[in-house]
């Protein structure tokens, strides 16, 4: 899994450079196989084991990085505008076997415009090997 050092820096205050952070993360059990410079960023390539689902995202790695740096996590605020209308007025779900599915949750999202991704997002995703 590839993680952007710059992206981590937006989620946690980093006091270690990319290579030092990679070494410290590896010493704590999150194996970083390589650190590669991509443009003005560094990409850390992790070899994660299945017992660390908490580390399968930038936010999960940022938590670990903040601990190693002795700093705090600074995640972005989510911007959700709740509507007065309930989901039940638009969509319904029928659970046919409550033993197999004791709970189902859903959210309706409106006002999404399908368009090309902004350049900053394209650059960020491409730096970690993802398509925008």
Q: What is the CATH number of the domain that holds 26?
A: 3.30.56.10
Give the residue numbers spanning the domain of 13. 2-69
Strands 2-4 and 32-38: unpaired
φ/ψ (deg, to 5) at 51: -90, 10
* pLDDT, tens digit, 9 for 90 and up, residues 44-103: 999 988 888 999 999 999 999 999 999 999 877 877 888 888 888 888 888 999 999 999
Over range 118-127, report the average pLDDT. Answer: 90
Please report whether residue 82 resides in a domain. no
Q: Is 81 a member of any domain?
A: no
Question: Which among 76, 33, 68, 28 is positioned nearest to 52, based on CA atoms?
Answer: 28
Domains contained in the chain, number: 1
Each residue of 94-110: pLDDT tens digit?
899 999 999 988 888 88
Q: What pLDDT, on the 0 to 100 scale, is given for residue 106?
A: 80
For the full predicted model, state whether its pTM sits above 0.85: no
Domain assignment present for residue 60? The answer is yes
Give the pLDDT confidence score for residue 77 in this predicted structure: 82
Tell me, yes or no, whether 9 lies in a domain: yes
| 17 in a structural domain | yes
From CA 70, how far away is CA 62, in angstroms rounded? 12
Q: Flag whether 108 is in a domain.
A: no
Main-chain dihedrals φ then ψ at residue 61, nearest 5 degrees:
-70, -35
Residue 62 within a domain = yes
Any domain includes 96:
no
């Amino acid at each position: 899994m590839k993680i952007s050092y710059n992206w981590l820096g937006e989620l946690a205050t980093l006091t270690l450079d990319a290579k030092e952070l990679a070494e410290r993360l590896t010493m704590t059990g999150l194996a970083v196989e390589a650190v590669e410079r991509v443009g003005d960023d560094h990409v850390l390539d992790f070899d994660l084991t299945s017992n660390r689902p908490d580390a399968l995202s930038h936010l999960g790695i940022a938590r670990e990085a903040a601990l190693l740096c002795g700093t705090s996590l600074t995640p972005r605020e989510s911007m959700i505008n709740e509507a007065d209308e309930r989901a039940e007025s638009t969509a319904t779900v029928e659970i046919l076997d409550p033993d197999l599915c004791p709970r189902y949750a859903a959210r309706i999202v409106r006002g999404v415009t399908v368009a090309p991704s902004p350049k900053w997002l394209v650059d960020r995703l491409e730096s970690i090997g993802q398509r925008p």
